[in-house]
Amino acid sequence: EPKNVAIVGATGAVGVEMLQCLEQRNFPVKNLTLLASARSAGKRMTFRGAEIEIQELTHDSFQGIDIALFSAGGGISKEFAPSAAAAGAIVIDNSSAFRMEDDVPLVVPEINGDQALKAPRGIIANPNCSTIITLMALAPLHSAFGLKSIIASTYQAVSGSGAQGILELEEQIQAMAKGDPITPKVYQHPIVSNVIPEVDAFTESGYTKEELKMLHEGRKILNLPELRVSCTCVRVPVVRSHSISVTAQFDQEVSVEAARAAYAGKPGVAVRDNPAERLYPVPLDTTGKDDCLVGRIRKNLVFNNALDLWVVGDQVRKGAALNAVQIAELL
């Protein structure tokens, strides 16, 4: 029956997309509460043709809320998610704040949706966008051949840095066109006509937090504690879709035909793979769309029982907002 839903971080790139997903998927919303910082309070957003005024987020914002979708950064989630849960809401959190907590399920509905029904703290975590998109391509292959290891390089859209990232790329494209100087604000280097091998903070290991998310979240979501993952995450001048180049090793013999067949009937992912027709996934084709696309499937030339593939998906949608709304639909 209809639910009272709150979006925390309603004005952010993901928050806006969450509202659109609720609307487009006809989620049974009784009342929609939009919560954001004091700076955004008072602004209005439109939901199902009606204007809704944004309210300032406080610890008392969750009375009567059934489902609270959070996408306002880890700090806000850490501070306010417990209050939302205490008020009786189920929290679906897009930040990394709770993902690795043992009593918080980390859910991609098409892969481990049943976990969403076991949320003892009233908090369910949405995985990192590049992890979701990569696993949408690997889960069907894991079922078919038994996944052992992943070597991945990501090509991550600037939307992963939020609206500010999209603005930075747009501004720098203009500046470059006019021959104006380029002063990076969001990233360490110019992102226009460049690629930056630094997503999230560096750790002692030399890997960034983003690269380690693929390892730790991949193990938890697939329930494969021995899964080996080595990942390089790169920011590229693309607006909204992440692309990932993957080499995956399996327990069993693999073939391209069997791999393509493994995707048949799998929701949320589709094969676009026909080299003769120069058909393969590209970011502009997945932007604004629900499905992740997989192509360039071929047997790896170095390792046994290994496949190379290329997967692309909309970072704001399936990488964040859509996945969160799909978890809400499971509830």
Please give the residue ranges that form the binding site for ligand 2RA (CB under 6 A): 128-130, 156, 160-161, 199, 210
Say if residue 39 carries a ligand binding annotation.
Answer: yes
> How far apart, in whole angstroms, are the C-alpha atoms of residue 167 and residue 152?
27
The residue type at 115: Q
* Of 200 and 290, CB closest to ligand 2RA: 200
Residue nearest to ligand 2RA (CB): 160
Give the number of other Cβ atoms within 10 Å of residue 205's Cβ: 8
CB-wise, 160 or 283, nearer to ligand 2RA?
Answer: 160
DSSP 267-301: TTEEE--BGGGTB---HHHHTT-S-EEEEEEEE-S
Is 242 catalytic? The answer is: yes
Provide, rounded to whole angstroms, the least separation between the CB of residue 14 and ligand 2RA: 8
Catalytic residue among 129, 231, 233, 292: 129
Q: Residue 12, annotated ligand binder?
A: yes
CB atoms within 10 A of CB 299: 14
Measured from the CB atom, is 33 or 156 closer to ligand 2RA?
A: 156
Q: Rounded distance, CA 28 to CA 164, Å?
A: 31
Residue 151 or 316: the one with the smaller Cβ distance to ligand 2RA is 316
For residues 12 and 60, what is the distance between their CA atoms, to the nearest angstrom? 21
CB atoms within 10 A of CB 38: 9
**Choice among 21, 233, 242, 292 that is catalytic:** 242
**Virtual torsion, Cα 185, 191, 197, 203, nearest 10 deg:** 10
Active site residue 216: no
**Was 181 annotated as part of a binding site?**
yes
3-state secondary structure of 204: coil
Residue 255 annotated as binding site: no
Residues classed as catalytic: 129, 242
Q: Which residues are annotated as a binding site for phosphate?
A: 99
Known binding-site residue numbers for NADP(+):
11-14, 39-40, 159-160, 181, 315
* Residues flagged as binding site for substrate: 156, 235
